[in-house]
Amino acid sequence: MSFEIKSMTNINEGIEEILITHEELIKRIEEVGKEISKDYVGKNPLLIALLKGSVPFLSELLNSIYIPMEYECVKVSSYCGTKSTGCVTIEGLNKLSIENRNLIIIEDIVDSGLTIQKTIEALNEYHPASIEVATLLDKPSMRQIENIHPKYICFKIPNKFVVGFGLDFNQQFRNLPYVGVLKPTMYME
Ligand code: PRP
């Protein structure tokens, strides 16, 4: 399914409300980075970032993790437009050395929980020592998979369609420096 993006000269025009400012994002991500650093001393964690939405979050998080660590990126897809398609695909896992590693999945948002559930299942096939989840946003009211509880959550948000800081609508708006609610007119005729 494809959606037509309304023409804009500035992507801020597509935003109804700023939900989390850039300053709030940076401050909270720094706190989470320090928390991860304390929890993983001596464990050389391997961060597995799920492309593409988690890139700005990963990038900012790296600035405040001060212990030895590594990161890899894999492509996971589950959405088309504003609706989940219910199908999840993961590329590139077989090229990673995951066995006995302490993994932290890096996500931009946990919504239904389907992507995280499928990713954890796929990672477990490679026998890691542990798996935790760090997510920028958590939308618990949309959860379909009940036993998904990310250890590190930067912000819990209400059930609104949000974009920015990596989150997209039809691949657009990822470059907003804040998290904002998309104007319904952007995706309605
Ligand atoms: C989005 C988001 C999460 C997932 C969350 O990914 O980045 O990975 O959906 O939804 P869920 O909890 O309902 O599964 P998307 O497939 O849109 O890919 P993207 O990261 O490239 O935007």
pLDDT tens per residue across span 10-68: 999 999 999 999 999 999 999 999 999 999 999 999 999 999 999 999 999 999 999 99
The verdict on the CB of residue 64 being under 6 Å from ligand 1 is no
Please report which confidence band the pLDDT of residue 92 belongs to, taking 50, 70 and 90 as the band edges. Answer: confident
130-187: per-residue pLDDT in tens? 999 999 999 999 899 889 999 999 999 999 999 999 999 999 999 999 999 999 988 8
β-strands 70-80, 83-91: how paired? antiparallel
From start to end of 81-146, where are the E strands? 83-91, 102-110, 130-138
165 lines ligand 1 (CB under 6 A): no
What's the gap in Å between 159 CA and the centre of ligand 1? 15
Amino acid 85: pLDDT: 56
Q: What is the residue extent of each domain of the chain?
A: 22-159
Fold of 22-159: Rossmann fold (3.40.50)
Q: Is the pLDDT of residue 1 over 50?
A: no
Ligand 1 pocket test target in 115, 142, 156, 167 with most atoms within 8 Å of CB? 115
Rounded distance between C-alpha atoms, residue 139 and residue 102, angstroms: 25
127: confidence class by pLDDT, cuts 50, 70, 90: very high
